[in-house]
Amino acid sequence: MIVIGAGVAGIYQIKRFVKLGADAFVLEAEDDLGGTWFRNRYPGCRFDSESYTYGYSFSQEILDTWHWKELFSSQPENLRYLNHVADLFGLHEHMRFGVRIASMTWTKQHAHGRSPPRTARPSAPGS
Ligand X SMILES: Cc1cc2nc3c(=O)[nH]c(=O)nc-3n(C[C@H](O)[C@H](O)[C@H](O)COP(=O)(O)OP(=O)(O)OC[C@H]3O[C@@H](n4cnc5c(N)ncnc54)[C@H](O)[C@@H]3O)c2cc1C
- Chain positions 39 to 98 lying near ligand X, rule: CB under 6 A, are 40, 45, 47-49, 54
Based on CB atoms, which residue is closest to ligand X, 27 or 86? 27
Q: How many CB atoms lie within 10 A of CB 111?
A: 8
User: Is residue 27 involved in binding ligand X (CB under 6 A)?
Assistant: yes
User: Is residue 101 involved in binding ligand X (CB under 6 A)?
Assistant: yes
Label each residue of 87-125 as H, E or C.
Answer: HHCCCHHHEEECCEEEECCCCCCCCCCCCCCEEECCCCC
Q: Distance between CA atoms of 49 and 80, rounded to whole angstroms?
A: 18
User: Is residue 127 involved in binding ligand X (CB under 6 A)?
Assistant: no
By CB under 6 A, name the binding residues for ligand X: 4-10, 27-30, 35-36, 40, 45, 47-49, 54, 100-101
